[in-house]
Structure formats: structure tokens, C-alpha cells
Amino acid sequence: MTSFIDLDLGKGKDVISKHIYGHFVEHLGRCIYNGLWVGDDSPIPNTRGIRNDIVEALKAIKIPNLRWPGGCFADNYHWKDGIGPREDRPCMVNTDWGHVVENNHFGTHEFMDLCEQLKTEPYICGNVGSGTVQEMQQWVEYMTFDGQSPMANLRKKNGKDEPWKVKFFGVGNENWGCGGHMKAETYAEKYRQYQTYVNNYSGNNILKIACGPSEADYHWTEVIMRECMKETQQLKNSTHDKPIHSVWEYYRPQMWGLSLHYYVRNRLNYTSATKFDESLWFEYMQRTLYMDELITNHSNVMDQYDPDKKVAIIVDEWGSWYEPEPGTHPRFLFQQNTLRDALIAGVTLNIFNNHCDRVKMANIAQLINVLQALILTDGSDMLLTPTYYVFDMYKDHQDSTLIPLDLETRDYLFGDGSIPVVNASASRNQEGKVHITLCNLDPNRSEEITFNLKGENAISSVNARILTDPAMNACNTFEQPDQIKPCNFNDIKVQGNWISIILPAKSVLAIEIAFK
């Protein structure tokens, strides 16, 4: 059977936010310390302690936002310990990740410097689990107030006269678990309270993100939406015929986004990142596709309180999770990254693209040396993983208009299970070029695909890049850092506005189409 994709280029209306392609760094293992942060006295080339090679690699994929300081770490982090002269900062025990002692040398100033070097938006996650309302309020004031105040003056004393811009702020993390083991009703009240004091100063406009559910906890979503959208519903249902600019509007709980966390893993039996057979390939592809069901179902719950989709789903933790590599610290979560992870990333990003009416931001976990990392380091050496290359291949979707597509494809059968062979998304940028990203989930068979592009002049050029390898577990190592990377794909036939290709087994393909 030939797979068929039908695209009507005139039907696109929703924009794929660039923030879907966001990232995440946590004080966990070697993500920050001995990862992106080496200190300004390191022989490894750096700018104010931040590795230059990592910054350049991330700028190349147009990283749009970066989440910090966690993760579970966020609800144990007290920001004032991470400011001022580094030699005076108190050490702390990282109780979440291995009870290692940290020196707090990477704090607010260092993170904001990193974001400025990357030209990316900071996404700060505040401490609800063990922090106070005052602590959160003061952190926002410290970062963003341009004037005379205790916190602004403290920032200036620490060397930053001008305030930073902070676009995204998360009010707690996983408060159903490591962030306090709260009931949904308890967190809803906490959110309503804490977010009140996440203020906008000096023209800075913060988009507030509430802690959302773990996986399929639809009760959590229902409670948070119900309790945090009450005043919004009352205002919407009001019989007033004039705009309301009263204290009602000012004080009502504000929630731009609701987070969702989902990892592709087997909770009962964490498996190896590199040693697996086809049964585990198939299982992890199934688990990856489950993201589509989660987003659909949570969005349906949210529609009851927010039918206009003003509140976004923020998938700020996602990715694959395996057992740590042998010989490494079990709480540092260091794992290799294979072609299987490239497929997991490609399929997941396609799902986010296709749900861009509700999904407005996402953050893969994590950036360096932790879980489904884009970059691995070993001393001064650095390598790019297959997942990094997927982000590079997909970057043209950022802020482009989603093109809905009709996809007919065969099933990939294994044992008693079946999943669609082809997974895809498409978009059109402001220059009129169309980008299509495809994944072949079958590790054994190639797939012929025919595309019908309607509503445009004839095709003038088609360019494509592919990521694949004969081995399911192909990965880059420090001995062979370029084992798997994208290459040009030329097996493309064009006739008018029809395209046909043969998509190799276990591959990710990115196509760019220009028109006459």
C-alpha cells in the first residue's frame, strides 16, 4: 500500500508557536555543573563561565525559550542563595537528585546571562512547595523592577543596573508529587494565592503557568480549570454591557498556561537506552503516540471552562526515560540517545504542531547530559545527539502556519499491536515555503508516500534532509561523534503539484517546498 497525504494549502489558520521548540535545564546530574556551566576560570572556552560550544550549538537550532531551575529542584530552590559574590554564596544539598552538595555558583544572574547569550526567553519556575509568597514576589521584583525598591537595589548592588525581561513564570512544579504532594484542590488555592503576587513591573508582562497534571490525571485538570477560571466565567456571563476595568479584572486569577508532564518510559521496568529489540522499539513508539490522546483529552476538559482556548497547554516536561547508563550515578539520569529517540522526538513534535491551537509551548527534558538530551559532554568534548538533529530539521516550523493534512497510511503490526506507519505535520512560512516533517515508525520496511499539494502554483523546487541508520540503536559516541546525522535526501519525484518519495525504514525526513 502507498501512503497518501493530501494538503490544501489554503486551509491553514493556526500558527505553530516557536515556543513549542523550547528546552529545559535543571540542577540535576551534569546538566548545569560540568555541563553548560564550567566557571570562568575553566580552560574550556567559555563566556563568563558558560561553554561557548554549547551556546553556538543551541543558537543554530533557534532555541526559543529555556526553563529553569527545575523540575523538582525548583520547589527546593531559594533564589537568594544564588545571588551576590560567588565566594559568599551558601552551599546547599540537592535532596532531589543524589544529595550532592552544590555551591550555588549558577544562579539568577548566570541563568539570565545564558538566556541573553542564546537570545532566548527565560522561563522561570517558582518555589511553591517549600517557598513563601513573599519569596516569589521578591524574586519577580528583583528580576524585573526598574526603579528604587529593596529588591531592585539589591540587583543593582549585585551588578545588574537594568532589569531583565521575564516572559514566562511557572507557579510551582509537579505539586501533585515532588512539589508538595498536594491534592488538586489544595494546589488550586495555592495557585490563586501565589500568582496574585507575580506582578508585572516596568512594562514587563509575565505569562503565568499553573502546575498541570501528570499524564492522564484528568481530575487535576478539571479542578484547576474550574477553580482558577471562576471569575473569568463570571465576567464572561455577566450582563454588563460595558467593558469591566474594575478590581475584578485586576485581581482575578490569571492563567496563561497549564502544564502537562509525560515521559515515554516503562515505570515498572526501566530499560536500556541502547540495548533493545524490536518489541521495545514498538512499545516505545506506542507510548510516544499516546501523547496525542493525552493532549486531546486534557483539551476537551479545558474546553468546558475555556472553549475559546485562551489557556494554553504547556508540555514543559516530555521525552524518553531509560535506566541510567552503567557506571554512572543512578540519580544523575544520564542516558545515551539513539535513532529511537530521534523518532520519539520527531513524532512528539509533529503531535504538538498538529495541536497548536491549544499547545503553545513545550520543553524537552533535558538539554544536556540528562534524560533525552540534545547535547552530551565529557570534559572538554561535546557531541550532538540524534534528538538535537531532529530539532534542527524541524526548526522551520517555528511561527509558521499549520497546514492540516489528511493522511492515509498502513499499519505497522507487531505481536497483537498496530500503529500507523507514517506520522507527519506540515506548515507554511511567511515566505510561502511549505515544510513537511515525516517519521517512518516501521524499523523494517520503507514506505512509498504520495503527496497532493492543492491551492498553489506548480512546485519550483523540493529539498529534503533525512536522519536514519541501518541500526535501531545507532548513536553518537565520543569515539564516533558523527555516527548518525542528517544528510541530503534526493529520492524525490515531482510532477506538477504531486510529489512521491520512498521513505526509508526508521527515519525522520524534513522536506522544504517552494512554488513558482
Query: Catalytic residue numbers?
Result: 174, 317
Rounded Cα–Cα distance for residues 280 and 294 (Å): 21
| Residue 199 grid coordinates | 506582578
Helix (H) or strand (E) holding 298: helix 278-303
Q: Which burial class, exposed, middle or buried, applies to 239 when counting CB atoms under 10 A from its CB (0-12, 13-18, 19+)?
A: exposed
| Residue 394 grid coordinates | 524541524
Dihedral angle sign, alpha carbons of residues 273, 362, 37, 31? negative
Residue type, 253: P
In three-state secondary structure terms, 324 is coil
Rounded Cα–Cα distance for residues 510 and 513 (Å): 10
In three-state secondary structure terms, 106 is coil
How many CA atoms does the CB half-sphere of 386 hold within 13 Å? 32
In three-state secondary structure terms, 256 is coil
Rounded Cα–Cα distance for residues 339 and 348 (Å): 14
Rounded Cα–Cα distance for residues 164 and 286 (Å): 42
Q: 47 — alpha (psi -120 to 50), left (phi > 0) or beta?
A: beta
Alpha helices by DSSP H, listed for 158-277, are: 184-196, 218-228, 230-236, 247-251
| Residue 391 grid coordinates | 530539532
